[in-house]
Structure 1
């Protein structure tokens, strides 16, 4: 009996020591923010020139409160970026550079997912990235998490063979709940496949283990509606474990959500079974027009904002509702300053502020 008791105790002790991971909510303290700077090697100089003012503005706003880690395509690009920042009177004191080739700018999706283990140590999760179902080149961007881990001397958990997962496809409340759209995680429709043959349960098990959540809420989403197959961070964001920011039903339906999805979103509850309080942001009043005059077909979302240590970067569109949205978001983050970031030209390419930023949490 004594031997059996001892063995049972040892096994339960080992089980209790099993490694767990926790994805800190975005509003927790950062060490810094990672940016992949736009370049001309993939999409040409016109593209680069149209969008990079957004990166200048983000760097200027972020460097006052945390490190800004800029990924430059090569040394020539690094030197060009330094010159740009100096021309725009951006302090380089809190800015550093890493030289890695990239395919594009969407570090939220291809970049490292920084988590903490049960000792509070910051680690990198390197999930697979396949260009949103092989719609675009992805080989360079898929290497970024491992390169960062090597450079920082940080442990990397290699999940490339386990699951493709884009950071923008999930939202977590920091207290055990994750929300995602099936369309951008487990869809098996042609042109959208991230994980061939994956089941909903298998995806949930991965999220539970590597994001540290106990509850996954699924919306159906819409496959093929955009490049991302409807990332959740375009229309819903958790402020904390009791509150979400989203949009009114008419705006969500205009974005393409079904009435079923809207109902699931609006009735979602936290880990304690309490329905989330909802804050509603408007869409832009008008359809977005780029800074160089091209009329786009869609209105813009303000939900795709980014919470940093001292500032909140909110996508702005030169629209009457910019000030309305900025004010609502400012009320949710009284200790931080809301800064509007002009994303009109970036929006033409399918993304806003949250899509092109990635937080690195501060260590204990």
Structure 2
């Protein structure tokens, strides 16, 4: 499943975090906190698929997903679209125009990218002690050097420069994809060891060292570590495919049978259901189904595996939920709608996207207000 010194003029302040892991593990001070996804957004970031990595047929099959996300989000927040080049920008604008999508709340940034998984390679917005919003640039190495990553790894620093925001450079501190972690907005971090404490990302890093880094740069003080399963797919089992924080008191996941179908280890299932917040209180568990049937793409390819609804995205006024033209779409949408009564649930057909292993959360990244 399947991301310096103060410069003059419009350039942001870049703060180097180049310290060795032993130094970091000794520090307990929280410098930054990461807002929870459901907090009010200034906007959402999207990296539009293009033909320059995998070909035109590949990108053409995905355009409708990005058009639907843009249309659904743009009514109530900015949509920041990263286009590969000027030619791609004009192509995207024409597609949105033909779909009657207003560009009033849409802007474009021209940056070459390797792929479109902005959740994993994009900027992580955090607040410092004064409440100022800044960008953290964590290391991204193509999920353990399994894919091209150089262009995508440069995206956070380019966005910080364009927005004139302070950039915290963490490339030498930790490789960490956005889809590998879940934050409850109240000090708890949920993750799999397989996607972080892995020799292909952070060789030799201990759990304690990782926790010290997450405490300092994300404000996490309570940790729920699942083992996960490395090598199963490209992400080494990102958490956001099967478990999410619905809010500060709720964990959204699946039934034990569906988690087993997702190949989550048995002891991880037990630990997930028994998870507690930083105050020691159990989370309310909300269970979404998998699709009833294995997924077939819109172009007829049988994928041979079921689809997850957990990988949804919370916008300001909408919740974008992966849908698969499956009878369980309505079931999952209704459960999520009950969880977010003040937002409108919108199902997005992700069948073609899912052929590449990811869903809605994987291709979106929030910028808090």
Per the normalisation by structure 1, the TM-score is 0.93
Check if 1:351 corresponds to 2:362: no
Candidates 200, 206, 213, aligned match of 2:207: 200
Structure 2: how far apart are the matches of 1:261 and 1:26? 24
Q: Which has the larger radius of gyration?
A: 1
- Shifted more, 194-203 versus 136-145: the winner is 194-203
Q: Secondary structure at the match of 2:51?
A: coil
Candidates 29, 38, 47, aligned match of 1:27: 38
Q: Secondary structure at the match of 1:171?
A: strand
Structure 1's unaligned 5+ residue stretches are 1-17
Structure 2: how far apart are the matches of 1:156 and 1:39? 27
Q: Which residue of 2 aligns with 1:304?
A: 311
- Post-superposition offset of 1:19: 6.3
- Post-superposition offset of 1:198: 1.1
User: Is 2:227–2:268's contact at 8 Å kept on the other side of the alignment?
Assistant: yes
Check if 1:105 corresponds to 2:116: yes
- Post-superposition offset of 1:173: 0.5
Give CA-to-partner distance per residue, 1:306-363, whole Å, 9 cap, x none.
Answer: 000010000000000000000000001111000000100000101000000000000x
Structure 1: how far apart are the matches of 2:125 and 2:144? 23
User: Is 2:350–2:359's contact at 8 Å kept on the other side of the alignment?
Assistant: yes
Q: How many residues align?
A: 341
Structure 1: how far apart are the matches of 2:203 and 2:90? 41
Candidates 61, 64, 85, aligned match of 1:53: 64
Candidates 190, 193, 196, aligned match of 1:185: 196
- Shifted more, 234-243 versus 53-62: the winner is 234-243
Q: Which residue of 1 aligns with 2:333?
A: 326
Q: Which residue of 2 aligns with 1:133?
A: 144
- Aligned CA RMSD, in angstroms, stands at 0.7
Give CA-to-partner distance per residue, 1:164-218, whole Å, 9 cap, x none.
Answer: 0000000011001001000000122xxxx11121111111111111110101111
Structure 2's unaligned 5+ residue stretches are 1-28
User: Is 1:109–1:167's contact at 8 Å kept on the other side of the alignment?
Assistant: yes
Per the normalisation by structure 2, the TM-score is 0.92
Question: Mapping of 1:56-135 within 5 angstroms?
Answer: 56-135=67-146
Question: Mapping of 1:238-277 within 5 angstroms?
Answer: 238-277=245-284
Structure 2: how far apart are the matches of 1:19 and 1:232? 24
Check if 1:230 corresponds to 2:237: yes
Structure 1: how far apart are the matches of 2:56 and 2:188? 42
User: Is 1:60–1:90's contact at 8 Å kept on the other side of the alignment?
Assistant: yes
Structure 2: how far apart are the matches of 1:319 and 1:333? 22
Structure 1: how far apart are the matches of 2:216 and 2:257? 36
Q: Secondary structure at the match of 1:202?
A: helix
Q: Secondary structure at the match of 2:316?
A: coil
Where do 4+ consecutive residues of structure 1 move more than 2 Å? none
User: Is 2:313–2:320's contact at 8 Å kept on the other side of the alignment?
Assistant: yes
Give CA-to-partner distance per residue, 1:81-121, whole Å, 9 cap, x none.
Answer: 00000000000000000000000000000000001111111
